[in-house]
């Protein structure tokens, strides 16, 4: 059993204590990660403020481990500035031990989308494949042939591959959730899993 677990085990039996402790740890975790992400990118507080569309004096307040008025919209602004996804989840108290014991700069740093190895490798592979097949695709997708009257015309053999269907157009300020009616969709998914 870890020293940290030994120290918190008895006090955590008190519900109010464990929730206050978890809230304070969360505040410190967010502020610390915010600072480490900024430093990882070698940004000044002014640069982060500009990218997050905030005023510079706000950044040191938010990087303070004692700050406690976080909002999802503020965290989303930072996620977009760092080009990361924001994840909010409910956790068991036991996970706090690992979070506490691994709280260090390296564990809090995250790579932006452009540096994410999952997408970086696939993007490089796709670029190489496109470079190799572009000349062949031009003739395959839009071949030219003569119709009955002898006129040349372009044939689109794979129109569905060229223009994806049912992809929403991006509109600033619009939410792009998976479902429009999340309650009925979630209920539907749960009933399918139970069946």
User: Residue 190 falls within a domain, yes or no?
Assistant: no
Angle between helices 72-82 and 15-40 (to 10 degrees): 30
Residues 106 and 124 grouped into a single domain? no
**Domain co-membership, 32 together with 99:** yes
CA–CA dist 75, 79 (Å, integer):
6
| Domain boundaries, position 53 | 3-111
Cα Rg of the chain (Å, integer): 25
CATH number of the structural domain spanning residue 52: 1.10.260.40
Q: State the Cα–Cα distance between residues 110 and 36, nearest whole angstrom.
A: 9
Same domain for 158 and 97: no
In a domain, 63, yes or no: yes
The verdict on residue 66 lying in a domain is yes
Q: Are residues 93 and 147 in the same domain?
A: no
Residue 107 lies in a domain: yes
Last residue of a domain, one of 76, 91, 111: 111
Look at residue 144 and give its three-state secondary structure: strand
Predicted local confidence at residue 4, as pLDDT: 81
What is the C-alpha separation between 76 and 71, in angstroms, rounded? 9
pLDDT at 154: 53
More confident residue, 140 or 2: 2
CA dihedral 76, 79, 80, 84 (to 10 degrees): -140
Instruction: State pLDDT tens for residues 144-162.
Output: 555 566 665 554 444 444 4
For residues 83 and 89, give the distance between their C-alpha atoms in angstroms, rounded to a whole number: 19
Do the domain assignments include residue 181?
A: no
How many angstroms separate the most distant Cα atoms in the chain? Answer: 90
- The reply to whether 139 falls in a domain is yes
Mean pLDDT (the chain) is: 77
Whether residue 176 has pLDDT greater than 70: no
**Are residues 10 and 66 located together in one domain of the fold?**
yes
Residue 70 domain flag: yes
Looking at residue 35, its pLDDT comes to 96
96: number of Cβ within 10 Å: 20
Number of domains in the chain: 2
For the record, the structure tokens of 12 come out as 């955590």
Q: How confident is the model at residue 136 (pLDDT cuts 50, 70, 90)?
A: low
- Cβ contact 24:11 at 8 Å: no
User: Residue 27 falls within a domain, yes or no?
Assistant: yes
> Is residue 104 located within the same domain as residue 141?
no
Q: Is the pLDDT of residue 51 over 60?
A: yes
Three-class SS state of 90: coil
The reply to whether 104 and 44 lie within a common domain is: yes
Strand partners, 146: 152
Which pLDDT band holds residue 186 (cuts at 50, 70, 90)? very low
53: Cβ contacts below 8 Å, ≥ 6 apart:
77
Judged on CB neighbours under 10 Å (0-12, 13-18, 19+), 73 is: exposed
């Amino acid at each position: 059993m870890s020293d940290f677990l030994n120290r918190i085990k008895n006090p955590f039996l008190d519900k109010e204590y464990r929730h206050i402790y978890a809230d304070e740890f969360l505040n410190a975790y967010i502020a610390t990660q915010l600072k480490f992400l900024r430093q990882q990118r070698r940004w000044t507080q002014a640069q982060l403020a500009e990218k997050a569309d905030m005023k510079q004096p706000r950044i040191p307040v938010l990087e303070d481990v004692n700050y406690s008025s976080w909002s999802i919209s503020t965290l989303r602004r930072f996620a977009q500035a760092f080009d990361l996804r924001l994840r909010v989840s409910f956790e068991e108290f036991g996970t706090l031990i690992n979070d506490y014991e691994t709280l260090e700069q390296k564990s809090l740093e995250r790579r932006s989308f452009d540096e994410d190895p999952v997408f970086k490798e696939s993007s490089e592979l796709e670029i190489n494949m496109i470079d190799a097949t572009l000349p062949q695709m031009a003739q395959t997708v839009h071949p030219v042939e003569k119709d009955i009257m002898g006129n040349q015309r372009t044939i689109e053999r794979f129109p569905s591959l060229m223009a994806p269907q049912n992809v929403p157009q991006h509109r600033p300020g619009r939410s792009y959730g998976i479902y429009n009616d999340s309650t009925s969709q979630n209920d539907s998914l749960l009933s399918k899993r139970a069946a």
